[in-house]
Amino acid sequence: MNLNVLILGGTSEARALAAALVSANVTVTSSLAGRVSRPRLPEGLVRIGGFGGVDGLRAYLVEEGVTHVIDATHPFAIGMRTNAVDACAQVSVPLVRYARPGWVEHPYASTWHWVDDYDEAREAAQRLGKYPFLTSGRQTLSHYLSWTEAHALVRVVEPLDHDVPDRWQVRLDRGPFTVDDEVALMRDHDTDVLVTKDSGGAYTSAKLDAAHQLGIPVVVVKRPSPPRGLIEFAQQADVLAWLGLDASA
Ligand code: NAP
């Protein structure tokens, strides 16, 4: 069978996987949500923008003759994941999840305050400090906006489309960051609590080491539970093997 792979992307793992499939001469299309104005484009074919829910994705799979779908979206992109499970099941296209492991194995993970969602993250951070460094992403900020007395430093990749409380500072930046840079940033801001989510990977993990160095408490939002029955791989070689490709070639 000729492979025609759709990668649901938006992550560095997805880009690396697309490159590996291009090298293996596999037809691959990466799909990006279109949230970022200057996305790092993967190799191979690229499409940008939502599919239009489960129905739209199902139609796309059929029209494009997609043989396999790899959901390599961000661990917190649960809407896309659920749609992919439903659409692929409806047209019997095999689907796997490919995601970097979370930070649960990080050497300092046991010292962090693990919470279930962003409201709990705000409550925990409010107990721990007044100068929070909020790094859980632009789409999560609505959960913190009521904390108007905070001297928050917010780091986001894209400009915000809403106002923030007067004492907040917004910083536009995207990783990777070094531990030294993160230490300097947190010192400058007098950060007394770091709020993040369990994205995993090395790309944005320097802040965790920086917080440890500075003795700053860390609040981490746990990953959402994956849809039931979805096969999940953490290694690219396992994804290639699932596609019937030789990972060592
Ligand atoms: P989401 O809540 O799971 O998805 C919301 C909707 O956005 C989906 O129903 C879909 O629209 C569209 N969408 C999401 N990912 C898409 C993709 N790869 N290709 C085409 N359409 C996509 O997603 P999100 O949390 O907003 O994240 C959006 C994208 O940014 C994801 O691809 C993810 O990998 C990346 N990202 C997310 C985070 C995060 O923290 N959530 C962090 C870094 C990168 P339709 O229903 O119209 O198909």
Cα distances (Å, whole numbers) of residue 228 to 61, 82, 101, 107, 164: 22, 10, 18, 29, 37
Find out whether the beta carbon of 203 lies less than 6 Å from any atom of ligand 1: no
Find out whether the beta carbon of 56 lies less than 6 Å from any atom of ligand 1: yes
What type of residue is 193?
A: V
Q: How far is the CA of 129 from the centre of ligand 1 (A)?
A: 31
pLDDT for the residue 175: 83
Q: How far is the CA of 77 from the centre of ligand 1 (A)?
A: 5
pTM, rounded to two decimals: 0.91
pLDDT mean by block of 10 residues, the chain; 249 residues: 95 96 98 90 97 98 98 95 97 97 95 98 98 96 97 96 96 93 98 97 92 98 90 96 85
Tell me the backbone φ, ψ of residue 187, rounded to 5 degrees.
-65, -50
According to DSSP, residue 141 is labeled G
Q: How far is the CA of 248 from the centre of ligand 1 (A)?
A: 31
pLDDT for the residue 51: 98
pLDDT for the residue 33: 96
Which tens digits make up the pLDDT trace of 214-226? Answer: 999 999 999 998 8
Tokens of 155: 């780091």
Tokens of 163: 């106002």
Which tens digits make up the pLDDT trace of 148-172? Answer: 999 999 999 999 999 999 999 999 9
% of the chain at pLDDT higher than 70: 99
Determine which helix (DSSP H) or strand (DSSP E) holds 197, and give its type and residue range: strand 193-197
